[in-house]
Amino acid sequence: MSTCDSLGSSGAKVEGAENAETTQKGEYPVEGEVNPGGVTPGEVNPGEVNPTTLNEDPKEEEEKAKLQASTLDDGVNINVIIERLSKEDPQSLAKIYSLMKNNNCLNFYPLLTPYHNIKKIVDILIEENYEHENTWCVHCDAAFICQLLYEGFIPVASKQKVCKVEKNQTKVVKECLLIPKIHYVRSCMHPSEIHISRKVKKKCRGYYITVDKDFDGVLQGIVEKHGQNWLYPFVQKEFKKIFEKKITYMNVRMHSVELWCDDFLAAGEIGCTVGSIYTSLTGFQRRSCAGTIQLCALAKLLQHQKFDLWDLGMLLPYKKTIGSKEVSMKDFFKMHRSTDSTAASSSMARRTGPLRCNQKRSQKCNQKRSQKCNQKRNQKCNQKCSQKCSQK
């Protein structure tokens, strides 16, 4: 279900296609040329079947195409959507055509707009066994992002070069667009399935986790670590609107998760909740193993909050180590829709305070370590002194 297939069926005619003087191969007949079989154009050779009689009437084909288009729901019928865009949002429609003209790769991915029925689009992609992970859209507002999150997409931002003519001069500008991802293989798990290694248990001492305490700090840490890979300023702005609940849609909520060591932000991530489903969008770490500690602590928090599904997005090796599983696109959306996504999302930060490690244990461990270090130092000093005395 590519964009070129969709927009190509909108009834637009190709110039020159109706030229009656061209042959089937597009060549003009030459005067005096002998046709094979001695048959002039337009005549039927006796004893042969006219190939045009085998084809259906073009009018019947057009009627069938119209009937098929009329049976489509308005939320997936590209003709209806283009018509609505031309009337209600012509600037976005112009942007769509401009991007398609300058970036041929977009022609092969499904186009999404606020006028689409996103749920039915997902059903069509599953039915067609869509093996890619990308869709695209030019609507980057918080309301549409919420709608995509609610349906199970992970919105990633991008900028594409587009040529524009201004005052008889061609300029290359970058247009902002979203690349909502619908992974062919998804990484997800139940929070109770988390695997916490011994290494994480040893290194987690001294850390504690909070929720929604420093959203801006987490955004800054992500950009600092990964650059503006997909978290462009315009996306940060829209995410902030969702986080501050200036824009709401159904039960979609945006959250930040922070891992602290004293007052130092060691790791963090941003994610969203849809009922009892939590989706990790992106994160960062500033210390070794801090990211894994943050994920393990978050899993325990989600389990305590009785979340049913933890969506980790793309499957990566480090996610496997904590217990995440491979799930096909079809199975994921079956789980996503069967899970209690209609329940009201509650504020994770309000329901529980920060999950702190046992500080008394960490203090005792530090004391024991310091004692052992002092003993080793004293032993070394005594050995050196005894060696010097024996030499003298």
When divided into structural domains, the chain yields a total of 2
* Contact predicate 270/215, CB 8 Å: yes
132 and 191 share one domain: no
The Cα 135–Cα 113 span in angstroms is 11
Q: Which two tokens stand for residue 65?
A: 């195409």
The Cα 148–Cα 145 span in angstroms is 5
Q: Which two tokens stand for residue 177?
A: 């667009």
The Cα 310–Cα 188 span in angstroms is 6
Cα Dmax for the chain: 127
Last residue of a domain, one of 135, 161, 181: 181
CB-based contacts of 85, cutoff 8 Å, min separation 6: 92, 93, 96, 113, 115
Residue 12 banded pLDDT, cuts 50, 70, 90: very low
CB-based contacts of 303, cutoff 8 Å, min separation 6: 191, 192, 194
b/e sequence 174-199, b meaning 16+ C-beta within 10 Å: ebebbbbbbbbebbbbbbeebebeee
Please state the φ and ψ torsions of residue 259, each to the nearest 5 degrees. -115, 120
Q: Which two tokens stand for residue 105?
A: 């790769």
Q: Is there a domain that residue 5 lies in?
A: no
Model confidence pLDDT, tens digit, residues 118-151 = 999 999 999 988 888 899 999 999 999 999 999 9
Q: Is there a domain that residue 64 lies in?
A: no
Last residue of a domain, one of 181, 196, 230: 181
| pLDDT at residue 69 is higher than 60 | no
Q: Is there a domain that residue 163 lies in?
A: yes
The answer to which of 132-141, 147-156, 164-173 has the lowest mean pLDDT is: 164-173
User: For 202-218, what is the mean pLDDT?
Assistant: 93
123 and 220 share one domain: no
Name, of 78-82, 293-297, 338-342, the range with top average pLDDT. 293-297
- What pLDDT score does 40 carry? 39
The Cα 330–Cα 130 span in angstroms is 10
In sign, the C-alpha dihedral spanning 182, 152, 176, 226 is negative
* Contact predicate 255/212, CB 8 Å: yes
283 and 315 share one domain: yes
144 and 204 share one domain: no
Model confidence pLDDT, tens digit, residues 95-117 = 898 888 888 888 889 999 999 99
Q: Which of 238, 202, 211 is nearest to 362 (CA)?
A: 202
- What pLDDT score does 356 carry? 44
Q: 10 Å Cβ neighbour count for 302? A: 24
Last residue of a domain, one of 181, 215, 242: 181
CA distances from 227 to 42, 224, 233, 249 (A): 66, 6, 11, 29
335 and 192 share one domain: yes
224 and 324 share one domain: yes
The Cα 376–Cα 382 span in angstroms is 10
The CATH number for 273's domain is: 3.40.630.70
230 and 340 share one domain: yes
113 and 238 share one domain: no
* Contact predicate 161/102, CB 8 Å: yes
Residue 384 banded pLDDT, cuts 50, 70, 90: confident
* Contact predicate 252/239, CB 8 Å: no
* Contact predicate 188/309, CB 8 Å: yes
Which residues form the domain of 131? Answer: 75-181
- What pLDDT score does 237 carry? 94
Q: Which two tokens stand for residue 379?
A: 């032993």
Strand partners of residue 356: 208
CA distances from 230 to 219, 226, 298, 381 (A): 12, 9, 23, 56
Q: Which of 359, 157, 113 is nearest to 260 (CA)?
A: 359
Q: Is there a domain that residue 34 lies in?
A: no
288 and 139 share one domain: no
Model confidence pLDDT, tens digit, residues 248-286 = 999 999 999 999 998 999 999 999 999 899 999 999 999
165 and 266 share one domain: no
196 and 209 share one domain: yes
Model confidence pLDDT, tens digit, residues 32-57 = 333 333 433 344 444 443 444 444 56
Long-range contacts from 228-234, C-beta under 8 angstroms, 24+ separation: 230/156, 230/157, 230/158, 230/179, 230/282, 231/157, 231/282, 232/157, 232/159, 232/176, 234/140, 234/157, 234/176
The Cα 208–Cα 203 span in angstroms is 12
- pTM of the entire structure? 0.71
* Contact predicate 113/81, CB 8 Å: yes
Q: Is there a domain that residue 258 lies in?
A: yes
Q: Is there a domain that residue 52 lies in?
A: no
226 and 98 share one domain: no
Q: Is there a domain that residue 132 lies in?
A: yes
User: For 305-324, what is the mean pLDDT?
Assistant: 91
Single-letter residue type at 26: G
